[in-house]
C-alpha cells in the first residue's frame, strides 16, 4: 500500500466528521435543546432496523403501529434464524448419510424430516405475522402494503 493512502483516508474521514457525513458515529449528531421540539430530530431518534423503518415510512405508521410491527418482525426474524440453523443440521445429516461405507437412508430421512418440520414452523410464523399485520393496519395502509409486495419493493 502506498504510504500516502492512510494519510488521505484519515483526512477524508476527519473532513466527513466535521460536516456530519459518513457512517453513523463519524460525525457529531445534534442533540435537541432543552424545550426544543424533538420532531425536528426524528430521523436521528428513529433507531429501528431498515425493514421496519422502510415500512413505517411507506405505510405512514403511527407510534403504536411501529411498536407492534417491530414485535412481529422480531418474532419472524427469530424463526427465520432457527430455520437457518435447522438447514445446517439437515446438511450435516445428509453429509453423515453419504459419509458411511453404505448409504445411510435413516440419516438422510432424519435430515429431510427436520427440513420439512422447519418449513412448516416457518410457514406458521409467516401466516401468524401476516394476520397480526393485517389486524393492525388501516385499509389504506393494507392497500399500500399489498402494492409494495406485488411490486417487489418488499418481500416476506
Q: What is the residue extent of each domain of the chain?
A: 51-156
Helix axes 50-59, 63-99, angle to 10 degrees: 140
What pTM was estimated for this model as a whole?
Answer: 0.61
pLDDT reported for residue 119: 94
Q: How buried is 142 (Cβ within 10 angstroms: 0-12 exposed, 13-18 middle, 19+ buried)? A: middle
pLDDT reported for residue 47: 36
Residue with the bigger pLDDT between 9 and 125: it is: 125
For the stretch 110-142, pLDDT in tens is 999 999 999 999 999 999 999 999 999 999 999
The C-alpha atoms of residue 64 and residue 48 are separated, in whole angstroms, by 14
Give CA angle at 69 (124, 66), nearest 5°: 175
pLDDT reported for residue 1: 59
CB-CB neighbours of 150 under 10 Å: 9
Closest CA to 29 of 43, 8, 49: 43
Across 54-76, average pLDDT:
91
Looking at domain 51-156, does it have CATH number 1.20.120? yes
Give, rounded to a whole angstrom, the gap between the first and last alpha carbons of the chain. Answer: 44
Amino acid at each position: 500500500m502506498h504510504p500516502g493512502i492512510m494519510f488521505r483516508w484519515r483526512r477524508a474521514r476527519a473532513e466527513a466528521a466535521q460536516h456530519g457525513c459518513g457512517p453513523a458515529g463519524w460525525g457529531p449528531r445534534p442533540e435537541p435543546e432543552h424545550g426544543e421540539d424533538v420532531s425536528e430530530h426524528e430521523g436521528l431518534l428513529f433507531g429501528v432496523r431498515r425493514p421496519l423503518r422502510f415500512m413505517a415510512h411507506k405505510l405512514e405508521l403511527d407510534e403504536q403501529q411501529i411498536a407492534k410491527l417491530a414485535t412481529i418482525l422480531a418474532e419472524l426474524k427469530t424463526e427465520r434464524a432457527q430455520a437457518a440453523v435447522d438447514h445446517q443440521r439437515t446438511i450435516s445429516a445428509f453429509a453423515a448419510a453419504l459419509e458411511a461405507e453404505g448409504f445411510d437412508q435413516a440419516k438422510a430421512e432424519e435430515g429431510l424430516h427436520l427440513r420439512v418440520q422447519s418449513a412448516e414452523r416457518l410457514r406458521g410464523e409467516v401466516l401468524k405475522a401476516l394476520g397480526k399485520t393485517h389486524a393492525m393496519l388501516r385499509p389504506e395502509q393494507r392497500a399500500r402494503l399489498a402494492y409494495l409486495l406485488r411490486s417487489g419493493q418488499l418481500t416476506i
